A and B are shown apart, each in its own frame.
Chain A
Amino acid sequence: MGFENVIYTKKDRVAVISLNRPHKLNALNEPLLADFDAALKAAEEDRAVAVLTIQGEGRAFCAGYDVSGDENSDPAFDWRNKPMMYDLYTRERRRQDRIENLARFSKPTIAKIHGYCLEAGCSIVLACDFAVATEDARFGDPSVRMGMCTDLPLWYYVLGIKRAKELMLTGKIIDAAEAERIGLVTQTVPVDKIDEEVDKLVQVLLANPADALRNNREAFQAALEARGLSAGFRFAGDMRVFSVLQRPGSRPREFNFFERRDQKGLKAAFEDMNAPFKKLGY
């Protein structure tokens, strides 16, 4: 199937969605998300697909939502146009439906991670059943350092309260070994072994009856929803919208990521945002 911003392939009952904006570390902008949604739907509806793998082209898995402020990026990050609550809610619900749909996907899902996997990149990883990462992968949600609230209940449901809080209250980036220790990824492998290891996992899954896999996935998802996961999605999404409306960085003397970005560019804004934390080893 022809998409511009994702590469969708299907071979031997395995569908692969590869995020394809390598020059932007696969930051999720509107055209990419539209392609992602369409590819996900195709994999869902195709009865010949038994397993779905999600990966990224180029140097990274995914750097999160596009915060560059250009016309295709997240309107929540465009201060010049002062976003309306109505539009922010609409955008947020669409995002959350996407991640929740991935968590509810009808077939087993594998995230195959290398390089940076930040913010919404972690949303994809946490919504997948398996996460296999290379040793050089890096994880975290630095958007909390811009003043944002996480919109992802899965931080808590997958990692537990203390681990979720440490990541969300510091915005720190962790390496693959730490990600494996806290349960964010299921397996860490050397860079040159990842294709082989993911393929092994795929073969194990394909050897199981599709009905049994579906049956188990439904049961686990039902258990999470009985524990309030769907309500958690809604609440966390509302908190995200709240944090956007709060106009992060608007307190006196507080770092304003957006102002800095518009003055000095995206890269410099990130460097300035992270500098005081870097000094402390975080």
Chain B
Amino acid sequence: MSYEYILYEKEAPIARIIMNRPEKHNPLGKPMMREIIKALEIAGEDREVKVVIIKGAGRSFSSGHDIPAIGMDIELGPEYIGKRPPAKMLIERDEWLKREFYQYVFNFPKPTIAQVHGYCIYGGNNFQLCCDITIAAENAQFKPKGDTIVTIASYLPADTFATGFGPRHLGVKMDGKVAEKWGVVNRAVPLEKLEEEVETLAKVIAQMPEDSVNLNKKCLNAMMDFDGLEAAWRTTHIAHAMGTHQRVRSDEFNIFKMRAKEGASAAIHARQRKR
């Protein structure tokens, strides 16, 4: 199996999935997400693998969904550029994200550890929340929701559940220490200790009785279902799909207009200057 957007390493009993578009801070485009799922499937079926580490190559974990591709996603097709896509297509796109990516990661039968450094923002933060345990660098930068584009609804309800702080950190920046305090991650450690901490944790989990790990993960995930996770997930992903229909007032910054004129990178930088 060869990959274009990720690296897959196996050093039994540990497997590592490394997001590998370092020059772009590892954005979660659909092709990368498909490769992550493929690699998880392989790790899931490999009886020698007991635990999966997920991390990013280069300076960051992940910068979130691929802004240059938003609204131009291959699944919507070129005929929709500049047009409002049909609701059904928007919802199906988000159903795919929910079911085939985030929920697949969340319900993956083997334990997962996210190793987070640099940027872990928007979809990147959603991704780490779906992993079982997260160890972050103290200077990692978290931002839970998509306020760069428009203040779009969080795709993932899990941050509300993880902390009880959800709505309060709408678009608020957090470093690793603050994320630790709010329960968004398990622990924040100095960057130079990050890899060592994660590898040790992986070795610990790999030594646990496999059935116990499996049953305990299922048991705790089920608690979130009793707590209304599936229903919450439905509302947030519909809100996310609906985000496409937000209108930009004449005195507000329009990132999409700017992207069309000057490209995604210039638009994101202009947006950051506005804040």
Are A165 and B208 in touch, CB under 8 angstroms? no
* A115 close to B (CB within 8 Å): no
- Closest Cβ–Cβ distance, residue B128 to chain A (whole Å): 10
- Closest Cβ–Cβ distance, residue B213 to chain A (whole Å): 6
A-chain residues with CB within 8 Å of residue B209 when the two chains form the complex: 144-147, 248-249, 251, 254-255
Are A157 and B185 in touch, CB under 8 angstroms? no
Q: Which of A150, A162, A235 contacts B186 (CB 8 A)?
A: A162
A-chain residues with CB within 8 Å of residue B219 when the two chains form the complex: 149-150, 168, 235-236, 239
- Closest Cβ–Cβ distance, residue A189 to chain B (whole Å): 21
Q: Which of B132, B211, B220, B221 contacts A251 (CB 8 A)?
A: B211
- Closest Cβ–Cβ distance, residue A229 to chain B (whole Å): 8
Indicate whether A166 sits within 8 Å of B133 (C-beta atoms), given known contacts A149-B219, A239-B219, A281-B200.
Answer: yes
Are A165 and B204 in touch, CB under 8 angstroms? no
* A56 close to B (CB within 8 Å): no
Number of chain A residues whose Cβ lies closer than 8 Å to a Cβ of chain B: 46
CA distance A276 to B208 in the complex (A): 10
- Closest Cβ–Cβ distance, residue B199 to chain A (whole Å): 10
Number of chain B residues whose Cβ lies closer than 8 Å to a Cβ of chain A: 40
A-chain residues with CB within 8 Å of residue B222 when the two chains form the complex: 232, 235-236, 239
B-chain residues with CB within 8 Å of residue A101 when the two chains form the complex: none
Chain B residue at minimum C-beta to C-beta distance from A182? B183
Are A165 and B133 in touch, CB under 8 angstroms? yes
The contact string, 1 if C-beta is below 8 Å from chain B, for chain A 227-266, is 1110110011001001100101101001100000000000
CA distance A145 to B210 in the complex (A): 10
The contact string, 1 if C-beta is below 8 Å from chain A, for chain B 155-176, is 0001001111000000000000
CA distance A277 to B207 in the complex (A): 8
Interface residues of A in 154-182 (CB under 8 A from B): 155-157, 159-166, 168-172, 182
Main secondary structure of the interface of B (DSSP, over half): helix
Q: Which of B134, B201, B215 contacts A149 (CB 8 A)?
A: B215
Q: How many A-B residue pairs have CB under 8 A?
A: 134
Interface residues of A in 68-82 (CB under 8 A from B): none
CA distance A161 to B134 in the complex (A): 11
* A3 close to B (CB within 8 Å): no
Q: Which of A144, A150, A162, A232 contacts B185 (CB 8 A)?
A: A162
Are A144 and B220 in touch, CB under 8 angstroms? no
- Closest Cβ–Cβ distance, residue A78 to chain B (whole Å): 19
- Closest Cβ–Cβ distance, residue B42 to chain A (whole Å): 21
* A121 close to B (CB within 8 Å): no
CA distance A171 to B207 in the complex (A): 11
- Closest Cβ–Cβ distance, residue A247 to chain B (whole Å): 9
- Closest Cβ–Cβ distance, residue B130 to chain A (whole Å): 10
Are B204 and A170 in touch, CB under 8 angstroms? yes
Interface residues of B in 186-225 (CB under 8 A from A): 186, 200-201, 203-205, 207-213, 215-225
**18 contacting pairs across A/B (C-beta < 8 A):** A145-B208, A147-B212, A150-B219, A157-B227, A162-B129, A162-B132, A162-B183, A162-B186, A168-B216, A169-B205, A169-B216, A227-B226, A227-B227, A228-B223, A231-B226, A232-B226, A255-B209, A280-B203
Point out residues on A near B: beta carbons under 8 Å. Answer: 144-150, 153, 155-157, 159-166, 168-172, 182, 227-229, 231-232, 235-236, 239, 242-243, 246, 248-249, 251, 254-255, 276-277, 280-282
10 closest cross-chain pairs (CB), A and B: A228-B226, A149-B215, A156-B223, A168-B216, A147-B209, A239-B219, A160-B183, A231-B226, A147-B212, A165-B132
Point out residues on B near A: beta carbons under 8 Å. Answer: 111, 129, 132-134, 158, 161-164, 183-186, 200-201, 203-205, 207-213, 215-228
